[in-house]
Amino acid sequence: MFADFERTSQPVNGINIHYRIGGSGPPLLLLHGHPQTHVMWHKVAGQLTDHFTVVAADLRGYGDSDKPPVSEKNHPYSKREMALDQVGLMSSLGFGRFDILAHDRGARVSHRLALDHPGAVNRMILLDIAPTLSMYEQTTEEFARAYWHWFFLIRPAPLPETLITADPENYLRTMLFRLSAGGNPFTGEAIAEYLRCLRLPGTAAGNCEDYRASAGIDLEHDRQDRAAGNRITCPLLVLWGTEGVIGKLFNPLQEWEKVADDVQGAGLPSGHFIPEEIPGILLEHVLNFLHYANRQ
């Protein structure tokens, strides 16, 4: 996986962020979701390097990036801090402005990045999420049963961390195969890498803190933006799996239109893990959207 990519880490925002970089052309930042790492992009990263300088990073608390300790208000895992990590990483590489392709938790970080650092984002693609505040405000029994992990992971430490670390492989496989649309879109090599990283000291706690922040300090920031009328101003493409929870329980395009000025979107024949379930279809949408921008 990731042939011709350089693998390294960069100190930014007081921690080390692990990433791979490859290709040439306009910069494109790839951010992953839970319970994965940057490896989730392995089916599309090589093709993207034909057109872009691709930076695939591990979020703090995930993969081989640093995992700050648990704090009372989960501040180190606010999406504001996690966005600062990625802005700092791209700046350290000489990219003051870049495109973003992000999934799940990485897409939530990117939402905050586009609000806090609008000058840094050229165009942005978010995969299989609706805005965090919208999802919490529209929580139903059906959603709570489908996304039970949202409510499990935010329980006070160390309960969820203890249960995850007791059997990380069971937790990982439950999450992956419960939210995909069927079959086995995950390669053995990718699963082995996800499991290696989930077993690293601090990963379970970092993952939980990410979710705790989303149910706390991140909602405060989102409500402040809503009250102030702050919106995403960069062109935004949202894609979701029609076989997934987001596509079935929410109207993603409508929800993003509430918080973004220039948004388009589409449902794709997939579950939650779009880059691994339908990489070819995803690439077509990504290249159409980003090439349009980069040729203007």
Return the active site residues.
Answer: 104, 272
List the structure tokens of 253.
């395009």
Contact 111, 232 (CB under 8 A): yes
Q: How far apart are alpha carbons 28 and 167 in whole angstroms? A: 35
DSSP per-residue letters across 164-207: HHHSHHHHHHHHHHHHS-SS--S-HHHHHHHHHHHTSTTHHHHH
Asked if 30 and 45 touch (Cβ cutoff 8 Å), the reply is yes
Q: What single-letter DSSP state applies at residue 94?
A: T
Strands 27-31 and 53-57: parallel
Sheet arrangement for strand 27-31:
6-12, 15-23, 53-57, 27-31, 98-103, 121-127, 236-241, 263-268
Which residues, at least 6 apart from 32, have a Cβ–Cβ distance to it below 8 Å? 38, 39, 40, 41, 56, 58, 59, 62, 63, 102, 103, 104, 105, 106
